A and B are shown apart, each in its own frame.
Chain A
Amino acid sequence: MIQAQSLTKRYGSKTAVDAVDFTVQPGRVTGFLGPNGAGKSTTMRMIVGLDRPTHGSVTVNGKQYREHKAPLREVGVLLDAKAIHTGRSAYNHLLAMAATHSIPASRVKEVIELTGLDSVARKRVGGFSLGMGQRLGIAAALLGDPATLILDEPVNGLDPEGVQWVRHLVRHLAAEGRTILLSSHLMSEMAVTADHLIVLGRGRVIADAPVAELIGAATRKTVRVRTPYAPELAALFQSADITVTRTEADLLEIVGVTAADIGNQAARAGIALHELTPVSASLEEAYMALTQNDVEYRTGGTPDDPAAEHSAADLQESVR
């Protein structure tokens, strides 16, 4: 379990992490999300004592990281920046890390096999690809068989097989009762990996909820309806809190009514429906909706959202 209490980090006048409180529970995968510069990496660095908090504190299993007698067995960490001497072989790097905690060489061989590095373990790290570097970072994090795993962008640079492997690995480790804190910008991956999400924006926690709840709260449910009588059906749903979008000649997307209601009303009006599908929003949409006001580094000149919604009235204008 990781607990942060009014955790704050300032660099000069810039506040990277601003009085953040959160708890990461064992037994599940907690996703750590936020735009670039939101303070995710700084928070992770403070958890393992690389950066000193300006104010507040963060503990792992009730103690500050540096107070533990076997830190590598408490927390395994993969940071976003490279943290490996380029002139040393992967095997020797892991061996040196392991030696501090008297972890046997057999465990070093184990994590090398587990991460699929057997063929390059004796080669110098300087020549490693991004993906192999990530695998070595994950191997180092697993070295102490830690109760808590903190992975910053672990799938960055991994091939699809590697991405899937990381997903199964962290789900498996969480099921063993370990605490997993994982950051990633790949929303689709996060949606299938994480159980719970903590979203940071400009150094503050803007959401801390289970994945399903977060998606539900941030977006409204859409129902996709296919019918040859699209204008007629759209006319049935003229209301301020209902949005109807006509995406194709015979296809409507309706937000604000349940699929059952649409089916019932269409039946009463004698409108034939060819398709009636509730569409759940993606984590990506939920995330965008949550963080739109908290993006630190916004790309300039973004065109308007192509999927801009029209009200039922607008739609009727256009179909006439």
Chain B
Amino acid sequence: MTTIAPAPVRAFVPSGSGLSFGGELRSEWIKLRTVRSTIWSYATVIVISLGMSALMSAALDLGGREISAAEQATFLSQPAIFGVFFGQLVVAVLGVLAVSGEYSTGMIRSSITAVPRRLPMLAAKAVVLFLCTFVVGLISTVGSYLMAVPFLAGKGITASLANPDLLLPLLGGALYLALVAVFALGVGAMLRSSAGGIAASLGILLLLPIVLSMIPAQWLADLLPYLISNAGLAFFGLNGFTSASFETWQNILIVLGWVAVSLAGAAVLLKRRDA
């Protein structure tokens, strides 16, 4: 076979659409909805919340006491948002898995090759997870309210959804769930491991408040209201878990602070480390 000098080939010029944040959002939305853990997690949040609401409102025994009109909204909101306490644990697991699942399967290499600047990918993940969890949270709190209505109406308790004393806790519960999911996303991105991320985020949400309150030191007790779960449960009025030390807006700021620290840590490490 004779060797023929190859004719000089003109370099191929790529064309077509490029990266955009809109595209990255769509990509993360596809990723989130096409794994089973997402469907199971969100279904669990809703089912637990509806179940809790039915149980609580059915079991409520007023002992013949008359509830004032002002209090009725609070009596209706309590069963509606009670499920959030359990829901936060489920969405925390989901938030971790949304990113740690990419590390454990190697998917993260595909994701980073598509979005090599990396931070837009993390931002898109956070936005999509926040919005989806907020919607699911809203379905679960409003659904739980609707679940409680027939039980409590029989006991003389009614309130309109337009009543801010009822509506704000329902919105607040959904907001808290969405923020917890994003907080856990940051933890998962920092630890890059499902087991480690789930242990760390559930530890911070659930164990930290218990451990701190068991240690008899005043300065530790003073820290309690600043924990993400204590501040979070307080800001939408889920009573019984913490004393109301702060105004609602202050509690929201505390939770946002936790989310910001988690995402900032994730961003720094994502940018710095080899994938």
Residue numbers of A with Cβ under 8 A of B are 1, 26-28, 45, 48-52, 65-66, 68-75, 77, 79, 81-89, 92-93, 95-103, 140, 144-147, 174-179, 195, 212
Given contacts A81-B106, A83-B109, contact A27 B9 (CB under 8 A): yes
Can you list 6 A-B pairs with a CB-CB distance of less than 8 A?
Answer: A68-B116, A71-B114, A72-B113, A84-B106, A102-B17, A176-B12
Closest to B38 in A: A87
Q: Flag if B14 contacts A1 (CB, 8 Å).
A: no
Closest to B25 in A: A99
Interface residues of B in 1-31 (CB under 8 A from A): 3, 6, 8-20, 22-24, 26-28, 30-31
Interface residues of B in 180-216 (CB under 8 A from A): none
Collect the chain A residues with CB atoms within 8 Å of residue B18's CB: 69-70, 73, 101-102
Collect the chain A residues with CB atoms within 8 Å of residue B24's CB: 99-100
Q: Flag if B11 contacts A50 (CB, 8 Å).
A: no
Q: Flag if B107 contacts A85 (CB, 8 Å).
A: yes
Collect the chain A residues with CB atoms within 8 Å of residue B8's CB: 27
Residue numbers of B with Cβ under 8 A of A are 3, 6, 8-20, 22-24, 26-28, 30-31, 34-37, 101-102, 105-110, 112-117, 274-275
Collect the chain A residues with CB atoms within 8 Å of residue B34's CB: 88-89, 92, 96
Collect the chain B residues with CB atoms within 8 Å of residue A81's CB: 106, 109
**10 tightest A-B CB contacts, nearest first:** A27-B9, A70-B18, A66-B116, A99-B27, A177-B12, A83-B109, A85-B107, A92-B34, A102-B17, A26-B11
Closest to B274 in A: A51
Looking at A66, A96, A176, the one whose CB has the most chain B CB atoms below 10 A away is A96
Q: Flag if B114 contacts A79 (CB, 8 Å).
A: no
Give chain B nearest CB distance to A158 CB in angstroms: 19
Collect the chain B residues with CB atoms within 8 Å of residue A102's CB: 17-18, 20, 22-23
Q: Flag if A85 contacts B35 (CB, 8 Å).
A: yes
Collect the chain A residues with CB atoms within 8 Å of residue B22's CB: 102
Contact among A73, A74, A85, A100 with B23 in the assembled complex (CB-CB below 8 Å): A100
Q: Flag if B19 contacts A195 (CB, 8 Å).
A: no
User: Bound state CA distance, A259 and B274, in angstroms?
Assistant: 55
Contact among B20, B28, B106, B112 with A49 in the assembled complex (CB-CB below 8 Å): B112
Contact among A48, A50, A66, A96 with B27 in the assembled complex (CB-CB below 8 Å): A96
Give chain A nearest CB distance to B188 CB in angstroms: 14
Given contacts A79-B109, A85-B105, contact A147 B13 (CB under 8 A): yes
Q: Flag if B3 contacts A212 (CB, 8 Å).
A: yes
Given contacts A49-B112, A51-B274, A140-B110, contact A70 B11 (CB under 8 A): no
Given contacts A26-B9, A71-B19, A175-B9, contact A87 B35 (CB under 8 A): yes
User: Bound state CA distance, A50 and B13, in angstroms?
Assistant: 24
Q: Flag if A82 contacts B116 (CB, 8 Å).
A: no
Given contacts A50-B109, A92-B34, contact A177 B10 (CB under 8 A): yes
Given contacts A26-B12, A87-B101, contact A97 B27 (CB under 8 A): yes
Closest to A141 in B: B113
Looking at B17, B20, B23, the one whose CB has the most chain A CB atoms below 10 A away is B17
